[in-house]
Structure 1
């Protein structure tokens, strides 16, 4: 008798498979949980920062409107004066120190008539030379300037208002300044928004220059290359992951402040999600360990129970390797174990019925069990076949309007009846060559063979109108919305056609439901 070298036993193999399956399941669970948790954290931080940036933009708008209102009030007080009173300017500045770093009054030649405080680096009689002061005189309007370097060397913003005499003749302007590189009203409002997790807020002007940053040395720098800065100064609001100019990744939310054309950005370091993710993995491993050991013991015991009765069948197989036996000639294995006898009989029956079962299976996997229509797999296969043969056809995508209300009102059993009812109507109103299918949920469709837009739209409208006047199983009519795309007019791939039909279906929903929308032609 020929001896066969002993290899792995069935008990060992099954135990190894159980261990591998458990470890892979655990690994998959951890990876899935980490991805979901990480995605959720990132989404939360993005939404939080966007909302926070919008709130700060609103607060900044209110602050700027208050400052403009105060400058207007100062201008109106000065309009009532015959001459500029230095003491009056000092008093008005004291009332506005919470908003401005200095207050200056200049005539129509931009010569300083009064300034408070008096130690800012310029004096009464000096002439202002900045483009911003020239603009204030030329426009004779209230304005908020872009940041600029004043003659004192400071980076400032000028909030100005014109002054007219009693006869309406322009006398000059009064301006309140914000020293961006020093303590100012903007930094007082925003500096508190620096959090322990590394989150912080910064502000850019419409040219992409920093006018506030927690690191005061960066004020005045251009960040126009920053993708978020580009979006926010163009008037957009939103959130996204971004890598700043220093190479650090952040979760940023941004909002536009229209009164000044400033952009407010609130951002959090992307690595802030790492710590809770690591904590989640640790907890999952500690929690799973006892269950892992228990399942391993259970798997070993089950493997032993399976291996013992199957050993008899394995011995027969070993003998049969010397003289192959056709399936129909496999002898009955006499054994007290029911499983062994059942396995022997099942092998014979399985070989005889295999082809028949496969044929039946191929049919079953292409039919939707609930409605009897073609399912998604059959739909994908048919569409791929038609596209490959370059056959013109139309795709009608349909969705029952307010189907959730049917389920909520009558229950899911009645909801299933409504789906079967729609399927019957679709089959009655379509041709033999067409393919009616259930795409998923309450969404259905028809592949209309050798069809253009006209016939497809006529079919969709007839179906829609028939449903609207016919009682459904709920004893009332239902309506549906439809979208149509045509091959090859709207696309030459299945994905393009489905997207176009879905877009048209969504348009039908948006325009009031119970209607058919034809997808727009590319480039239209």
Structure 2
């Protein structure tokens, strides 16, 4: 092998191997980050939906309890029983049917009357459990005599003297439209993601594919963990053999498990596209570098060959001048090295941009939850105090339902611009959920943060948006470390203040103050 080929081979190895290693390392790191982000999002989504489902069941039991109290004095009035059963079924549409029965399980009234079970004695396990316990019951899913897969909720009826008079129960048909079906069914994706719900017996009680409702699922770790009372995340393979990134949560009042999952391929698709784009953009420069390397190898070999020839003419006067003339070629070699560094620098720049994209919410351009976690880790390491604003758009679902998700996205982006307008140069506005936003204010005390929050609230309230008109926001404010030395607790305080603002009528700011039972309102 001559010197030109040796230099060419070594230079190609030194250029391509770091390029390939950096490309592979960047892909591996970003792939894991995307997987972690998706699993965290699904876990948070499952927990949120489990909370909403639990709230719905508790609300349904409260409705039944109120009806039971009203019926205590009218158990002999058939007309009154029928009217109350019909009112309960139609007023909130929480139940597909309502049944009132006596301590023997005999039906006194039912709505709708088309069920034609009045006067019959009910023998289902759910009814017998309610008669036996004489307390509130949320049953497991069971098949009715009419062939409906049902969940049965009931509340006992007691007289003023404490005598047990029977019970009022509401049935939710899992394969028909109901409030529970709407609660679970309005959450969907277009990329293969979906969620499903199972009861204690691991029987599916909700699934986007209605034919799966009623199936019992075994060998699924996410379901096993969820019905055991746990919440978390896991990578699984679904029944069709598709790798999924799942989050799961437990519904305490019913013992159900909720699983939200997304195909791994859908999660990694943006990364694959970005890596291909980066490769295509760096390929021309890589080809140019290879040509420079080939040319440089030829140029480097020529002076070195002159040096080798000059070794045979050491005694000639002109040899010194020849060797001196070769010295400049080391400078050219250094320039070639710089050119290679420029190429690698461009690659690192692209990888840095890719990492930045992973830390940025694609819709609003604000930081995402991973960016938020990175900032908090920095604040904790440097003991930098900060205030946090928890922000939520009031009645945002109404905007999506009335005007569509495209208009909703426009509202989110406009709010993001307004958050930037009121933020200081070091503040960190982030989007952490659908209509949920956070602003971190490093070094700001609570009263300054409250002023920023109030400026943002007034700006949002006074701005008229196309199609939508005026919107409002609710905000909660807390601070670290004077709110609490534990950062998650500070965020929980801000969330609690946000919910307090919503309960107080929305379009306001609530500030957490240590030692006070009532939040300050700005």
Q: TM-score, normalised by structure 1?
A: 0.58
Q: 1:229 aligns to what?
A: 223
Cα distance in 1, alignment partners of residues 98 and 381 from structure 2:
64
> 2:106 is matched with which residue: 103, 107, 111?
111
What are the residue-to-residue correspondences of 1:332-411 with 2, within 5 Å? 336-337=322-323
Cα distance in 2, alignment partners of residues 305 and 138 from structure 1:
97
- Does structure 2 retain, via aligned residues, the 8 Å contact 1:93–1:102? no
CA offsets per residue over residues 181-229 of structure 1, 9 Å max, x none?
1112211111111111111111111121111100111111111321100
1:175 aligns with 2:163: no
Structure index of larger Rg:
1
- Does structure 1 retain, via aligned residues, the 8 Å contact 2:88–2:98? yes
Q: 1:102 aligns to what?
A: 97
Cα distance in 1, alignment partners of residues 4 and 289 from structure 2:
15
Alpha-carbon distance, 1:338 to partner: 5.3
- Does structure 1 retain, via aligned residues, the 8 Å contact 2:151–2:172? yes
Q: 1:442 aligns to what?
A: none
What are the residue-to-residue correspondences of 1:142-221 with 2, within 5 Å? 142-221=136-215
Cα distance in 2, alignment partners of residues 112 and 406 from structure 1:
67
Provide closer, same or farther for how the CA distance between residues 66 and 277 of structure 1 changes in structure 2, counting only shifts above 3 A: same
- Does structure 2 retain, via aligned residues, the 8 Å contact 1:79–1:165? yes
Cα distance in 2, alignment partners of residues 33 and 307 from structure 1:
35
Structure 1, unaligned runs of 5 or more: 1-7, 320-333, 342-401, 409-509, 511-524
Cα distance in 2, alignment partners of residues 339 and 243 from structure 1:
68
Q: Secondary structure at the match of 1:337?
A: helix
Provide closer, same or farther for how the CA distance between residues 284 and 130 of structure 1 changes in structure 2, counting only shifts above 3 A: same
- Does structure 2 retain, via aligned residues, the 8 Å contact 1:202–1:214? yes
Alpha-carbon distance, 1:126 to partner: 0.8
Q: 1:396 aligns to what?
A: none
Q: TM-score, normalised by structure 2?
A: 0.58
Alpha-carbon distance, 1:17 to partner: 2.9
- Does structure 1 retain, via aligned residues, the 8 Å contact 2:202–2:216? yes
Alpha-carbon distance, 1:265 to partner: 1.0
Alpha-carbon distance, 1:274 to partner: 3.8
Q: 1:61 aligns to what?
A: 54
Cα distance in 2, alignment partners of residues 338 and 166 from structure 1:
115
Cα distance in 1, alignment partners of residues 184 and 72 from structure 2:
34
1:72 aligns with 2:71: no
Cα distance in 1, alignment partners of residues 71 and 201 from structure 2:
33
- Does structure 2 retain, via aligned residues, the 8 Å contact 1:105–1:112? yes
RMSD: 3.0
Q: 2:5 aligns to what?
A: 12
- Does structure 1 retain, via aligned residues, the 8 Å contact 2:310–2:323? no
Alpha-carbon distance, 1:98 to partner: 1.5
1:296 aligns with 2:329: no
Cα distance in 2, alignment partners of residues 315 and 114 from structure 1:
113
- Does structure 1 retain, via aligned residues, the 8 Å contact 2:86–2:98? no
Alpha-carbon distance, 1:314 to partner: 5.5
Alpha-carbon distance, 1:97 to partner: 4.8
What are the residue-to-residue correspondences of 1:130-149 with 2, within 5 Å? 130-149=124-143
Cα distance in 1, alignment partners of residues 382 and 135 from structure 2:
58
Q: 1:482 aligns to what?
A: none
Cα distance in 2, alignment partners of residues 13 and 164 from structure 1:
96
Cα distance in 2, alignment partners of residues 119 and 406 from structure 1:
68
- Does structure 2 retain, via aligned residues, the 8 Å contact 1:106–1:114? yes
CA offsets per residue over residues 341-397 of structure 1, 9 Å max, x none?
9xxxxxxxxxxxxxxxxxxxxxxxxxxxxxxxxxxxxxxxxxxxxxxxxxxxxxxxx
CA offsets per residue over residues 13-53 of structure 1, 9 Å max, x none?
32233234333333223222222222121111111111111
Q: Secondary structure at the match of 1:138?
A: helix
Q: Secondary structure at the match of 1:208?
A: coil
Provide closer, same or farther for how the CA distance between residues 310 and 271 of structure 1 changes in structure 2, counting only shifts above 3 A: same
